[in-house]
């Protein structure tokens, strides 16, 4: 140990730069593991916080997060009428992108059935008005009091939430259910006018139609005509089962409806983890493996070069009768010191750098301990080249 420390002190600059370089690699490896954990949290965030027992979505779809789901607005009342259902609440989720103050901002709009008291508010207050107020996650970078136009209305940010991101990583924005419907179903005035004119033409083409001025006026009227476009749609219905009722029985009754699919909260969670997150997990695992291989190669080369610089010293030690174990201990100790110190520096740098990453980074103790074990193993493996070179060094080389 003393021999290794003396050698490090003698070539401290090289040791410091090597350790710092390895720590940057380990910081990225550590960050990728944290990004994966963050993906899982973001993918299941709303599912966990909503507290619904059953998610009702469009027939033959997997839910509002996995793919587009569209249900009629009155679906929540049909579900609420099923025996065993305590409550059925409309759920709306859709993504918008706007140009705001010289930058592009993407937000996932979530409709709230209440005032949002359960959200983790960092600043401001929950919703007080049923219209034109919104809560925005801090990652959206919309300060309190910001006014932004969505659809045909302008909304004011009255509260800032923390760590509320959609599975895509976009910031979540919370408004009332009616406002979320208005934003989602916003149609330009020209689109509505064109549909009204198309209705007149379709009616005129019917053999029993009449194009009298009175009928045309009815078709164009805002009060007497049928809806210009299909009625407002929601993404899903969140169902809570009445206490004492069998959840599977209620689920079976809902699945008997011909136009919906229903999943338990656990099934909805598995859909997210098995679909959206699965590919990202494989990709992150590949990157982590590549970086660990790169770290191993770098440490091996560095330790080998450090050993090459000490060939004369190793030969002198052998000439003086030093055992091979002394050289092995010196090289192995240096490798472990580089790995352990680099891991500590990576952890320290990560605490400063990870909050600035565009995706959430969640570090789990179990993952850190596993990575530390891998680093120790890599350090031992990297020292093999140096140990082999030390063993092959002949004591006679001191004379050359």
Output the tens digit of pLDDT for each of the chain's 400 residues.
Answer: 466 666 667 677 777 888 888 888 889 888 888 888 888 887 788 888 888 899 999 888 887 877 778 888 888 889 999 989 998 888 888 888 888 888 888 888 888 888 888 888 888 898 988 889 999 998 888 899 899 988 888 999 999 998 888 877 788 899 988 888 888 877 777 777 787 777 777 666 655 555 566 666 665 665 554 544 455 788 889 999 998 888 899 999 999 888 899 999 888 888 888 776 777 778 888 887 888 788 778 777 777 777 666 666 666 666 666 676 777 777 788 888 888 999 999 999 988 888 888 778 888 888 899 889 988 888 888 777 777 766 666 666 555 5
Nearest-CA neighbor of 173 among 141, 146, 117, 135? 135
pTM: predicted TM-score of the whole model, two decimal places: 0.69
Residue 367: the pLDDT is 87
Q: Which of 386, 289, 387, 299 has the alpha carbon at shortest distance from 338?
A: 299
Q: How far apart are CA 134 and CA 161, in angstroms?
A: 11
Residue 247 to residue 268: CA distance in whole angstroms:
15
CA 73 to chain centre: 29
Q: What pLDDT score was predicted for residue 1?
A: 46
For residue 71, the number of C-alpha atoms closer than 13 Å in the C-beta half-sphere is 32
Residue of 221, 150, 154 whose CA lies nearest to 181: 150
Residues 6+ apart with CB under 8 A from 230: none
Can you give the pLDDT at residue 348?
Answer: 92
pLDDT digits (tens, 9 = 90+) for 139-192: 888 899 899 988 888 999 999 998 888 877 788 899 988 888 888 877 777 777
Question: Can you tell me the distance from the alpha carbon of 252 to that of 243, in angstroms, rounded to the nearest whole number?
Answer: 17
The span from the CA of 267 to the CA of 17, in Å, is: 49
Torsion angle of C-alpha atoms 247, 249, 251, 256, degrees rounded to 10 = -170
Structure tokens at 76: 């929540």
* pLDDT recorded at residue 229: 47
By three-state DSSP, how is residue 98 classified? Answer: strand
Cα angle at 43 between 275 and 249, to 5 degrees?
Answer: 75
Helix-helix angle 276-309:12-50, to 10 degrees: 170
């Amino acid at each position: 140990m003393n021999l290794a420390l003396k050698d490090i002190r003698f070539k401290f600059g090289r040791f410091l730069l090597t350790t710092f370089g390895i720590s940057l690699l380990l910081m990225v490896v550590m960050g990728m593991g944290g990004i994966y954990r963050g993906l899982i949290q973001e993918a299941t965030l709303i599912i966990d916080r909503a507290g619904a027992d059953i998610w009702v979505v469009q027939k033959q779809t997997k839910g509002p997060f996995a793919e587009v789901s569209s249900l009629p607005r009155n679906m929540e009342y049909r579900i609420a009428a099923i025996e065993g259902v305590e409550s059925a609440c409309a759920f709306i989720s859709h993504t918008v992108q706007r140009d705001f103050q010289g930058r592009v901002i993407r937000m996932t709009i979530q409709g709230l059935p209440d005032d949002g008291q359960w959200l983790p508010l960092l600043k401001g207050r929950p919703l007080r008005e049923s219209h034109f107020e919104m809560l925005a996650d801090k990652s959206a970078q919309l300060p309190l009091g910001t006014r932004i136009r969505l659809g045909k209305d302008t909304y004011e940010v009255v509260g800032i939430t923390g760590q509320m991101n959609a599975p895509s990583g976009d910031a979540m924005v919370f408004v009332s259910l009616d406002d979320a419907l208005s934003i989602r179903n916003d149609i330009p005035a020209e689109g509505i006018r064109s549909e009204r004119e198309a209705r007149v033409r379709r009616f005129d083409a019917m053999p029993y139609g009449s194009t009298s001025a009175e009928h045309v006026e009815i078709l164009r009227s805002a009060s007497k005509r049928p809806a210009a476009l299909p009625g407002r749609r929601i993404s899903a219905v969140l169902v809570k089962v009445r206490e004492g009722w069998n959840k599977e029985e209620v689920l079976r009754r809902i699945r008997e409806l011909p136009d919906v699919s229903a999943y338990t909260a656990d099934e909805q969670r598995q859909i997210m983890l098995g679909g959206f997150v699965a590919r990202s997990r494989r990709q992150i695992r590949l990157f982590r493996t590549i970086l660990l291989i790169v770290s191993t190669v770098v440490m091996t080369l560095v330790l080998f070069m450090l050993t090459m610089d000490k060939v004369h010293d190793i030969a002198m030690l052998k000439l003086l009768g030093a055992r091979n174990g002394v050289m092995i201990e010196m090289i192995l100790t240096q490798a472990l010191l580089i790995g352990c110190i680099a891991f500590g520096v990576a952890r320290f740098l990560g605490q400063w750098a990870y909050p600035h990453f565009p995706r959430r980074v969640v570090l789990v103790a179990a993952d850190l301990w596993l990575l530390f074990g891998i680093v120790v193993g890599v350090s031992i493996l990297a020292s093999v080249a140096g140990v082999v070179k030390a063993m092959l060094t002949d004591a006679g080389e001191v004379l050359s």
